[in-house]
Amino acid sequence: MERISERQAMLIGAGIIFDATLISIPAQLLGVAHQDAWLTYLVAGVAVAASLWLLSRVGSRFVEVDLYEALVTRFKWVGRMVVLMYTFFVFFLVCRDLRMVSDFVNIHLLQKTPLVVISILVVLVVVFIARGGVELLARMTELYLPLLFFVVLILPLLLGKEFELRYYKPIFEHGVGDVLEGGWLAVSYVSEIALLPFFLSHKVFRLRTGLYGMGIGVFFLTLLIALNIVTLGPHIASRFMYPNIELIRQIRITDFLDRFDIAIVSIWLPSIITKIGYLLYICCHGIKRVTPGMSAKQITTAVGLVALTCSFWFFENSIQLIKVNYVWPVVATLFAFVLPLLMFFFLKPKPMR
Amino acid sequence: MKWKSLLLGGLLMVPVVLSGCWDRREINDVAFVLASGFDKEKDQYRVSVQVPLPSQLGGIGGSGGGGGTSGDKSWYVESMTGSTIREANEKQQRSLSRQLYFAHRRVLLIGDEAAREGVKEYLDILARVPQNRLGTFVLITKGETRDVMNAEESIEQTPAEMMRELAQNTMRKPRTAKHFIETLLSDGIDPYAPAIQVVKTQSGSGKEKTTIKVIGLAVFSKGKLQGILNPEESQGALIAMNQAVQPMINLPAPKGEGQLSILLGETNVNIKPALEGDKIKMRIVVRGKGSLIENTSAYDVTAGHNMEDTEKRLDESLKQSLQKSIDMLRMKLHADPIGFGDIVYRKFPNEWQTMKKDWQSHYEVMQVEIIPEIHIVHTGAITQPFGYKEGDLKQ
C-alpha cells in the first residue's frame, strides 16, 4: 500500500477543490450572486464540511483500509455496486475536466490547433501521472500547488491599482437567496474533496486533514473571486468564460511587468493536469476493486483514452460545459451527501462473534 | 523487446511535433496593429488600422518621429468597410501579406459620429477574441478616425503611441476599455473618454503640419455620445471624479491687472450622499494642496493676510467651476460620468431600485453642496512678483 503523509493528503484535498474550479464556475457564481459571489464558496464549504464529517466517521470504523475496500469487503454485491456508481461519477468528472482544459487551451492559447490534438496531449500526461500512483500524485502536488498558491497570494499586490473597492457593495442587495443559490452551484465542485476518503485510508485522511485541505482550497477560491469582483466588476466578469484569466490579464505594472498571464497559466496548467490525474487514478482504483484480478496500472491507459472519446461525445460545445454546472449539484449531492449518509448508517464492520 | 521501446519512443515524439504546427506564428509574418479606429458609414462599419513598417522603424533609442530626413513614415493606415467589424478586418487582411495581430493594440478610437449612434456594437469583439485586450484605451475622435491616425507630426515614433501617451496623461488613473465597458453595463454611472482631434500646429506660415490634440472629455449616456466638454468645462468634472492630473486654476488678481495661477498638486474628493425623504443631497468635499505657480500681476501674495484671502477666492472659484461642470452634465448633456447614481446605489440600494427608473429627474433636482478646502502650501522659489519694482507692488 503506498504511503503518503497527512500534509500531502491535505494538499491533494486543496488541489482537487482549487484547480478545476477556477476555470469552471466563477462566471456563473458572479451571474447568480453578483457582488456577493465571494460568500458562495464559504456556504459550499460549510455544507461539504458536514459531508467530510460523515465520511470520516465511517472511515474511523475501518482504520487500515480506504472506503472502496471497506465497501467491497463488507457488502459483496451492494458494495461493488456503490463502488461502480462512484467510478462512473468520477469517470464523468474526468471527461468534464478534460474537456474543460482542452476548451480553455483552445480558446485562449492555441486557437488553430484542433481540439483533439490538445486533448490527446493532456490525456497522455494524465495517464503517465495516474500510472505513477498516489506517491507520484502527492509529490507533483507538493511541487506545483504551493507555487500556485503563492502566485494567487501576490495577485492583490499586482492588481492593486486596478481595484475599485466600491464594487463589492451593497452587500446582500438581493437578499441571502442569491448567495445560497450560488453556494448550491459551488457545492458541485467543492464536494469533490469527498472523494478522497475512498482511496486514502483513515490513517492518512482524517477529518482534520479534510477540513484543512478544504479550508485552504476555499480560501484561495474566495480570494480569487473577490479579486474578480473588485477588479473586473460583476457585470463584466460574469460574461467571460474564464473570468480568472481575464483577471490576470489586467496585471500591468509599468511597461516592464506586462502580460504576465502566460506565465501564471504555465504555473497553473500542471496543477490542473495533476488534478485530472487524481480523478483518473480514483476511477481506475474503483474499477480494480470491482473486478478481481485487474491491475489498476494496466487499465489506466485504456480508461484515459475512453475518457478522451467520451469528453467529445458528452459535450457538444463549450456552452454545454457551462450548462452542466446548473444540473451537476444534484448529482454531487447524491454522491457527497446521500450516499455517505447511507454509509454512515449502514456501513459498519461485521460484528465480532 | 527493444522494438517496443523504440515504437513507444517514436509514438511519444509525434505529439511533440504536432503541437506547434497550427498555431505557429513567425514574427516576420505578423503585422502588429497599433491602433484601430471605428467609424460608421450608413449601416456599414469602417475599420481603420495603423500598422508599423518594421524596415522603416530605425535603430534602438530613436524617438525621432515621422517627417525625418528621408520623409518616409514608419507606419501606414489601412481602412475598409464591412457589415461587421470582423468582416472589415478580413477585407483588410486581403491586402496585407502579414497576419493582423491585435494583441499589441493600445488605443481604440471611435469616431464621434459613430459614437453618437451608439458604442455598444463595437465592444463585443474586444472581449470575445482573446487576442484583443481590455487594457486598450478608448478615445473618441472628432471627425473620422483615419484622419487622426494619419497625423503627420508626432513626437513619438507612431501617432498611436502619441495617442496612448496623451490618453494616459489626461487622467490620474487612465481609464481602459475594461472600465469603459463596466460603466456602460452598470446603472448609475456613465462612461467617459478623452476626446482628440487632428489639428494643425501653429508653427508659422507654410510650416504647419497636422498633429493630434486632446480637445476635452467625451461623455456618454445610455451608450451614446452626448457631448464633448472642452478643457475648462471638463476640469470641474475631472476633479470631482478624482481624475484631474494637477489641475491649474487661474484667479484674477484682486488688485491691479494680471492673473494668479495656482497648481493643485494633490486633490482628494469625497462625495457623501444623504437622503431627505425623496430628495437626494450630495455633499462634495474637495481637499487639496496647491502652490502658486505663476503670478503675472503686481499683487504680493505673501503680504499680510493675502495667502488666506487667496485661498478663499480659490475655494470660491473651484466651487463655481465644479457647480458649472455638474450642472452642464446633468441639465444639458443628461450624463452622469461622476457616478452620482452609483453612489446612491452603493449606500441606499433599496431606494435606488425605485429611483433608477427615472434617474434623470432625480439627478436634475439633486441638491449639490460643494465644500472646497484647498490649502496653498508654497509660492514656489520666489515670494514677491519678479518683474515689478518695490514701490509698484500691490499689497
B15: closest chain A residue by CA: A121
Indicate whether A91 pLDDT > 60: yes
pLDDT in tens, A185-214: 999 999 999 999 988 888 888 899 999 999
Shortest distance, CA A132 to any CA of chain B (angstroms):
17
Average pLDDT of the segment spanning A42-59: 93
What is the spatial distance between Cα B135 and Cα B224, in angstroms, rounded to a whole number?
21
Greater confidence (B391 vs A307) lies with A307
Q: Is the dihedral of CA B104, B105, B107, B108 positive or negative?
A: negative
Nearest CA in chain A to B124: A239
Res B328: pLDDT = 92
Decide if B182 and A111 are in contact by the 8 Å CB cutoff.
Answer: no
- Percent of chain B residues past pLDDT 70, beyond the cut: 94
Residue B99 burial (CB count, 10 A): 12
By the CB < 8 Å criterion, does B9 face chain A?
no
Q: Is B178 within 8 Å of A110 when comparing Cβ atoms?
A: no
The C-alpha atoms of residue B290 and residue B278 are separated, in whole angstroms, by: 38
Taking only the tens place, the pLDDT of each residue in B184-223 is 998 889 999 999 999 888 877 777 788 899 999 999 999 9
pLDDT for residue B85 is more than 50: yes
pLDDT higher than 80, residue B16: no
B1 and chain A: CB distance < 8 Å anywhere? no
d(CA B23, CA B134): 22
Alpha-carbon distance values, A307 to A21, A140, A289 (Å):
19, 22, 19
Residue B136 DSSP label = P
B61-77 confidence digits (pLDDT tens): 444 444 444 456 788 89
Over 70: is that where the pLDDT of A39 sits?
yes
How far is the CA of A337 from the CAs of A52, A53, A121, A197, A349, in angstroms? 9, 10, 35, 14, 21
Angstrom distance (rounded) from CA A4 to CA A308: 29
Interface test with B, best of A113, A158, A251, A273 (most B CBs within 10 A): A113
pTM: 0.89
pLDDT score recorded for residue A186: 95
B185–A contact, CB cutoff 8 A: yes
- A2: confidence class by pLDDT, cuts 50, 70, 90: low
In chain B, which segments carry CATH 3.30.300.210?
Answer: 231-395
Q: What is the per-residue DSSP string for A263-295? A: HHHHHHHHHHHHHHHHHHHHHHHHHHHHSTT--
Q: Which of A119-123, A264-268, A332-336, B352-356 has the lowest mean pLDDT?
A: B352-356
Task: Identify the CA nearest to A179 among candidates A32, A330, A21.
Answer: A32
Whole-angstrom CA distances from B8 to A124, A129, B1 are: 12, 17, 11
Q: In this predicted structure, what is the pLDDT of residue B61?
A: 40
Contact A246, A232 (CB under 8 A): yes
Task: Compute the C-alpha angle A104/A106/A107, nearest 5°.
Answer: 70
Q: Which residues of A touch B127 (CB under 8 A)?
A: 236, 239-240, 246
Q: Which H or E element spans position B41?
A: strand B35-41
| pLDDT score at B66 | 43
The CB-based long-range contact list for B19-23 (8 Å cut-off, 24+ gap) reads B19/A110, B19/A113, B19/A117, B19/A118, B19/A121, B21/A113, B22/A110, B22/A112, B22/A113, B22/A114, B22/A117, B23/A109, B23/A110, B23/A111, B23/A112, B23/A113
How would residue A103 be classed by pLDDT, with cut points 50, 70 and 90? Answer: very high
pLDDT tops 70 at residue B316: yes
The residue ranges of every structural domain in chain A are 6-342
| Residue B47 β-bridge partners | B38, B80
* CB atoms A232 and B178 under 8 Å: yes
Q: B18: which chain A residues are within 8 Å (Cβ-Cβ)?
A: 117
Q: State the smallest CA–CA distance between residue A240 and chain B in angstroms.
A: 8
Contact (CB<8Å) B135/A246 = no
Grid cell in block for residue B141? 475622435
B346 CB near a chain A CB, below 8 Å? yes
Parallel, antiparallel or unpaired: strands B367-378 and B107-111: unpaired
Note whether B50 and B77 are within 8 A (CB).
yes
pLDDT at A261 over 70: yes
B301 closest CA partner among B246, B254, B250:
B254
ipTM rounded to 2 decimals: 0.84
| Residues B212-236, mean pLDDT to the nearest whole number | 91
Nearest residue of A to residue B348 by CA position? Answer: A170
Q: What share of chain A is helix, strand, coil (3-state, %, to 5)?
A: 80, 0, 20
- Per-residue DSSP letters for A20-69? HHHHHSHHHHHHHHGGGGGGHHHHHHHHHHHHHHHHHHHHHHS-SS-HHH
- Predicted confidence (pLDDT) at residue A279 exceeds the cutoff of 90: yes
Nearest CA distance, B139 vs chain A (angstrom): 19
The residue of chain A with its CA nearest to that of B130 is A108
CB A24 within 8 A of CB A225: no
Q: Where are the beta strands (DSSP E) in chain A?
A: 252-253, 257-258
Tell me the nearest-neighbour CA distance from B182 into chain A, angstroms: 6
> Would the CA dihedral through A67, A72, A73, A77 be positive or negative?
positive
Distant-in-sequence, close-in-space partners of B55: CB < 8 Å, separation ≥ 6: none
Please state, in angstroms and rounded to a whole number, the distance separating the CA atoms of residues A292 and A309: 26
Higher pLDDT, B234 or B12: B234
Contact between chains at B127 and A170 (C-beta distance less than 8 A): no
Per-residue pLDDT tens for A3-16? 788 899 999 999 99
pLDDT tens for each residue of B88-144: 999 999 988 899 999 999 899 999 999 999 999 888 888 888 888 888 999 999 999
Cβ–Cβ gap B173/A240 under 8 Å: no
Q: How confident is the model at residue A165 (pLDDT cuts 50, 70, 90)?
A: confident
- The answer to whether A77 and A211 have CB atoms below 8 angstroms apart is no
Q: Which CATH number fits domain B231-395: 1.20.1090.10, 3.40.720.10, 3.30.420.40, 3.30.300.210?
A: 3.30.300.210
- pLDDT recorded at residue B68: 43
Q: Report cis status (omega within 30 of 0) of the bond before B15.
A: no
What does the alpha-carbon distance between residue B254 and residue B251 come to, in Å, rounded to a whole number?
9
Residues of B in contact with A252 (CB under 8 A): 135
pLDDT of residue B60: 44
Q: Read off the pLDDT of each residue in B313-334 and give the average, rounded to a whole number.
A: 92
Beta bridge partners of B138: B108
Superfamily of domain A6-342: Amino acid/polyamine transporter I (1.20.1740.10)
**pLDDT, tens only, B31-63:** 999 999 999 998 899 999 999 888 776 654 444
What is the predicted pLDDT for the residue at B377?
Answer: 92
CA angle A86, A90, A91 (to 5 degrees): 115
Contacts with B, A 248-267, CB within 8 Å: 249-250, 252
SS3 content of chain B, % helix, strand, coil (to 5): 35, 30, 35
Residue B152, pLDDT score: 84
The mean-pLDDT minimum among A157-171, A328-342, B307-321 falls in: A157-171
Which residues of A fall within a CB distance of 8 Å from B15? Answer: 117, 120-121, 124
Residue pairs between chains A and B whose CB atoms are closer than 8 Å: 62
